[in-house]
Amino acid sequence: MDGFSLPDKRTDQVILEANPEYWDTTRLPRLHRIIFDNTLAQRDAVELVKTGEGHVDLVSELSPLETLRVAESSFAKVVKNRDNTGYLFGQFNMRKAGSPWRDVRLRQAANMAINRDDLIRYATKGNGVIVPALLAVNTFGYDPTLTPYAFDPVKAQALLREAGHPDGLALTLIAPSALEVQATVVGKMLEQVGFTVERQLLEPAVYNQKTDFRALDQPAEQQAWDIALTSFNDLTNFPAIQPYQRFALDGPIDWVIEEPELQQLYTQVLHTVDREHQQALIRQMERHTRDQAYFLFLYNPIKLFAVNKAVEFVLYRTTILNLTETWVTEQHWSVRKQKATGPE
Amino acid sequence: MRAVSWHACLRKASWKGDVVTGIYRPPGIAEPGSRLEIIDPYTVRFVFPEPDGGAMARLVIMHMANRQFHRELGWGEKSW
């Protein structure tokens, strides 16, 4: 897979065979066999799914730049997961020695420098949804009354001055190489209000060594970067734990020095099993996080897939590639082949 | 019905498939005083000493991988 440079210990293939003896007969698998191919590069897999059949039926993480060519293909279609619980945001490095990002005015200035409509248009060809804070529209705890930071370069410049940087501020923006376009656009927007941006695209393993406390190459206070672009999928749809605990409340990728209020709300969420109460508390977490600008809020990416036309791919909001309900039509190459040659 | 320390129980319950290692556990799941009851071959009940609003979410992200995975790869590489 593109983007991974460490020695790859995966086998060439992972093959899942259907288990017809599964105890829950209402959820028996609808496919006989699923093969995950670890040998194909992303671009090769996309090429195979759109130019033929019998090799690749589904490719995840389709680039927005590829959607038109896939849609024009005779063999493949584009499937969009619009209601997913994924996030794309920036982390401010509040933990490095002498970090200027502990000043909320500076964090707000960065947020006001972002024209999110343009970011989504340029970086994703429209495949993104603006979010007011961290959470996407269909995430548990999303607050529909919360408004995103407005694009306001004049106010951003004023806040930059108020925060003690009348001549602007030089910053280092790091991002995994897969987020190159987003890093470029965000960097340009920050420069428009007075930041001087050094952009660093990092291989994922190196990126982790800069951001993940389980893998840091230097102590947090010696990490020189200022903003780290991050892409994350919440597999739980329970944001108190993911992303909040993970990215802001002593989790493994926490670069936030938060106010006590956020920790108190988090504790309250975990001490109740009343869903309505939980939702109200998470909304308070969102409002507090938005007001404190703990993150550079960007957008909720629409997840894209290239899928063979005879595959009825069933999406999961959490973006898990769970193929339990996915099935194929009579026109699928494997069904046609089985009819021609008889059952295996 | 039995009630035992949850992770030991899960390890025992799954020893045949060798799917639970106990090496990785999200915080909060295996707090002191928590236990797991085996109701029937398809049902278990987690019992916590006090209400835990995050229990279900933690179960979702509780990875179950065999011991070979943890021994040879683990979670550090992140390229699996």
- The pLDDT-based confidence of B23 (bands split at 50, 70, 90) is very low
Identify the residue whose tokens are 């999110």. Answer: A116
Nearest chain A residue to B54, by CA: A270
Q: Which segments of A113-232 does DSSP mark as H helices, in order? A: 116-124, 153-162, 180-192, 204-211
Residue B57: its H or E element: helix B55-60
CB contact (8 A) between residue A238 and residue B78:
no
Residues of A in contact with B80 (CB under 8 A): 9-10
* pLDDT computed for residue A70 by the predictor: 96
Residues of A in contact with B54 (CB under 8 A): 238, 240-241, 269-270
A265 CA to chain B: closest CA distance, Å? 12
- The pLDDT-based confidence of B32 (bands split at 50, 70, 90) is low
* pLDDT computed for residue A133 by the predictor: 96
Q: Are B48 and B15 in contact (CB under 8 A)?
A: no
A91 is written with which tokens? 């982390």
Q: Is the Cβ of A19 closer than 8 Å to some Cβ of chain B?
A: no
- The pLDDT-based confidence of A5 (bands split at 50, 70, 90) is very low
Q: What is the CA radius of gyration of chain A?
A: 22
Long-range contacts of A155-159 (CB under 8 A, 24+ apart): A155/A109, A155/A112, A156/A108, A156/A109, A156/A110, A156/A112, A156/A113, A156/A193, A156/A194, A157/A109, A157/A193, A157/A194, A159/A105, A159/A106, A159/A108, A159/A109, A159/A112
CB contact (8 A) between residue A9 and residue B73:
yes
Average pLDDT taken over every residue of chain A: 93
Q: What is the DSSP annotation of A37-92? A: ESSS-HHHHHHHHHH-SSS-SEESS--GGGHHHHHT-SSEEEEEETT--EEEEEEE
A325 CA to chain B: closest CA distance, Å? 19
CB contact (8 A) between residue B51 and residue A271:
yes
- Burial of residue A219, with CB atoms counted within 10 A of its CB: 0-12 exposed, 13-18 middle, 19 or more buried: exposed
Distance CA B34, CA B44 (A): 13
pLDDT at B7 over 60: no
Phi, psi of A339 (to 5 degrees): -65, -35
Q: Per mean pLDDT, which range of A138-147, A202-211, A286-295, B30-39 is the poorest?
A: B30-39
B9 is written with which tokens? 């129980």
**C-alpha distances in Å from residue B29, one per residue of A188, B19, B80:** 44, 17, 25
The pLDDT > 90 percentage for chain A reads 81
CB contact (8 A) between residue B28 and residue A10:
no
CB contact (8 A) between residue A240 and residue B60:
no
Per-window interface: A 267-286 vs B, CB < 8 A = 269-273, 278
* Nearest CA among A123, A306, A141 for reference residue A131: A141
Residues of B in contact with A273 (CB under 8 A): 51-53
- The pLDDT-based confidence of B63 (bands split at 50, 70, 90) is low
pLDDT at A166 over 90: yes
A240-281: pLDDT as tens digits:
988 999 999 988 899 999 999 999 999 999 999 999 999 999
B72 CA to chain A: closest CA distance, Å? 9
Q: What mean pLDDT is predicted for residues B73-80?
A: 51
Q: Is the Cβ of A321 closer than 8 Å to some Cβ of chain B?
A: no
Size of interface A-B (CB pairs under 8 A): 56
Name the interface residues of B facing A (CB cutoff 8 Å).
Answer: 26, 28, 42, 50-54, 56-58, 60-61, 72-73, 75-80
Phi, psi of A312 (to 5 degrees): -95, 90
- The pLDDT-based confidence of A120 (bands split at 50, 70, 90) is very high
pLDDT at A168 over 90: yes
Mutate to test the interface with B, among A213, A241, A268 (most CBs of B within 10 A): A241
- The pLDDT-based confidence of B66 (bands split at 50, 70, 90) is low
Q: What mean pLDDT is predicted for residues A73-88?
A: 94
pLDDT at B22 over 60: no
Residue of higher predicted confidence among B32 and A342: A342
A282-322: pLDDT as tens digits:
999 999 999 999 999 999 999 999 999 999 999 998 888 88
Q: Are A138 and A317 in contact (CB under 8 A)?
A: yes
pLDDT at A333 over 80: yes
A192-247: pLDDT as tens digits:
999 999 999 999 889 999 999 988 999 999 999 999 999 999 888 999 988 999 99
- The pLDDT-based confidence of B77 (bands split at 50, 70, 90) is very low
